[in-house]
Amino acid sequence: MVTLENSVSCQTDSCQSVPVHPPPILQVRQYIGTAARLSLERNINRHTHETEDMDIAAERIERLHELARAAAADDDELARSYVRLARRVAERNRLPLPRTFRRFTCDECDAYLRPGDNARVRLQDGHVVITCECGAHARYPYD
């Protein structure tokens, strides 16, 4: 006679001898092992995706910077829209804007600055002072 503990739930004859139910403690260990592994894999994946997202965002910022520079020559508004988009991408991804980007854009009106054209550059007390058409000044250490 077969006791309940040793019996198998499977009804087919071919697997009667296969122990279907491992001891409960083993089941728990396996379950924890699987859960831990899954969560670890998820963490790794999430990390990889974040890194990829940041690379893509950094590339987008570079590309938008190029587009802004190119557009600035004949379309101030188009250049502004690229500058704003780049700022938004940086903000959303918590990435710093490249230094050249920060220096050649106006914080007030988002214009892409072209010294001698829509921006004035002066040296003052060891600083570079860039004045935008909108009247905003930006000071940087001379380097």
* Binding residues for Zn ion (CB under 5 A): 106, 108-109, 111, 132, 134, 136
Q: Give 93 or 131: the residue with its C-beta nearer to Zn ion.
A: 131
**Nearest approach, Cβ of 139 to Zn ion (angstroms)?**
14
Q: Which of 24, 48, 139, 28 is nearest to 131 (CA)?
A: 139
**Nearest approach, Cβ of 110 to Zn ion (angstroms)?**
7
Identify the bridge partners of residue 128 per DSSP, sorted by sequence position: 123, 140
**Nearest approach, Cβ of 102 to Zn ion (angstroms)?**
13
**Nearest approach, Cβ of 41 to Zn ion (angstroms)?**
49
Helix ranges (H only) for the chain are 24-72, 76-92, 99-103
- Quickly count: other Cβ atoms within 10 Å of residue 21's Cβ: 12
The answer to whether residues 30 and 71 touch, using CB atoms and an 8 Å cutoff, is no
Q: Give 50 or 107: the residue with its C-beta nearer to Zn ion.
A: 107
Q: Give 67 or 104: the residue with its C-beta nearer to Zn ion.
A: 104
Q: Give 85 or 136: the residue with its C-beta nearer to Zn ion.
A: 136
d(CA 110, CA 99): 15
